[in-house]
Structure 1
C-alpha cells in the first residue's frame, strides 16, 4: 500500500520549503531553561483550588480534564484551537493571566493575551465567558499581518507563523517548522526537541491534519494541540493538551512517526503537520 501523502510531504515533493526548514534540523542540546516566574501576590480570598489552578493551569501534565475557575478549558469556537493552545501556554508561565482566567483577578499589568478586550469584558464574572473572550483576543492577535500585511482569514483558524509570533512563555521565543512524519529522521529530531523542551518546562504547540488522499482541505493543518511538560510521564511518552476536549491526553512519541490512523491526542487527526519550536533549537 502506498504511503499516505501528507501536506508537508506533498509540498516537499514540489520543492516548496518554509524558511524555518532552511536552518536545518533542530538540536535539543541547544535549548536552555526558561526565565524564572516572577512571584505574584495572590488575593487572600482565593480558595485552595483557585490557587492550585493559578499556579499550575495545566495540572503538571497529568492526564484528564483541565478546569479553570470551574469551567472546562476547551476551545469555545470552531476556529480557536490555536488560540486556546496559545492562551494555555501563556497562562502556564504568567500567574497574572492565570489569575484572571481562574478568578477574574487583575493586577496593574494587562497580559498581551487580553489586549483586545474592552474594560467591561475584563470585568466578566463568568469563567467560561472569560475563556471565550481571551481566546477571541488571542486569535485576533495571531491572525493579523499574516500574509503580505493582511489578516489571516478567521475561518482558517491560526496560522503557524502567527502562533510562533504570539507564543509567550517565560521569555522563550518560538519559530514554526513544517513536519513530514514520513521522514523518520527529521521527525525524530523535531520530537526529541519537543521532549527536551518539555523536560525544561517549556510547552510546544503542534499542528495536526490529515492526508491529501482524503482532500487538500483535510491535509492542511486543521487542529492545534500543546505538548505540555509532564515530570511524571513515562519515558518516551508525550502529554498533549487537546483543546477540543479541554483535556491532557497521553501518546507515545513513536506513535507520531508515519501515522495512518487518527488519534484522540491529535484531536482526531492523523499527522503532526507543523511544529512551533523554541528558536534556540535552530541556533538562534
Structure 2
C-alpha cells in the first residue's frame, strides 16, 4: 500500500521512513479507535493487511487471482496476495507485463521482478480497480 501511494504520487521516495510508513498504513487500514481515541487493531499485524482493507483504500474489489484479469487492469497497479496453499503471506504489486508474465514490485526484494520469481507460489487474490 505504501508503494502504491508513492506510485500514485502521494508519497515521497526513496523512503527514509519506510517501516514507519508501512506500520502507520496498516494501523490506518485495519484499526479502529476506542472510546478514548486510542487505536485498537482488531486484525493482527503478523497477518499483514487484509485484502478487503486494501480494496476499500484503493476503491477496488477483491477477486480470485486470474492472470488475464490482472493484466487487463494494467496500467493501474494491482496488488496481488501470494502465499502457501493454506495461507496468503505476502503482497506484491503488479506494475507491468513482459511477454504475458506479470512484473511486480516485490517489497521483500525492493525491486521489480517477474511474478514467477517469488518464493510464494500460490496466487490467492487480486485487488482490481472498479
Q: TM-score, normalised by structure 2?
A: 0.82
Aligned residues: CA RMSD: 2.1
Provide the C-alpha distance between the structure 1 equivalents of 2:117 and 2:31, rounded to a whole number of angstroms: 30
Determine which structure has more spread, i.e. the larger CA radius of gyration. Answer: 1
1:203 has 2:94 as partner = no
The answer for unaligned runs of 5 or more in structure 1 is 1-85, 103-126, 168-172, 180-189, 212-218, 252-262, 280-284
* Runs of 4+ with deviation above 3 angstroms: none
> Residues of 1 paired with 2:108 and 2:29: CA distance?
19
Query: Residue in 2 aligned with 1:177?
Result: 63
Deviation at 1:226, TM superposition (A): 0.8
Gaps of 5+ in 2: 33-39
- Confirm or deny that 1:249 pairs with 2:113: yes
- Helix, strand or coil: the match of 2:88? coil
Structure 1 or 2: more helix by fraction: 1
CA distance in 2, matches of 1:274, 1:162: 13
Report the 3-state secondary structure (helix = DSSP H, G, I; strand = E; otherwise coil) of the residue aligned with 1:228. Answer: strand
Name the SS of the counterpart of 1:244 in structure 2. Answer: coil
Question: In the alignment, is residue 237 of structure 1 matched against residue 101 of structure 2?
Answer: yes
Corresponding residue of 1:87? 2
Alpha-carbon shift at residue 241 of structure 1 (Å): 1.1
Is residue 2:56 matched to residue 1:165? yes
Say which of 39, 53, 69 aligns to 1:193. 69
Deviation at 1:175, TM superposition (A): 1.0
Task: Indicate the SS of the match to 1:222.
Answer: strand
Output aligned runs, 1:1-284, within 5 Å. 86-94=1-9, 96-97=10-11, 100-102=12-14, 127-128=15-16, 130-144=17-31, 151-167=42-58, 173-179=59-65, 190-198=66-74, 201-211=75-85, 219-229=86-96, 233-234=98-99, 236-251=100-115, 263-265=116-118, 268-279=119-130
Note the C-alpha offset of 1:210: 1.1
Q: Tell me if structure 2 keeps the 8 A contact 1:143–1:152.
A: yes
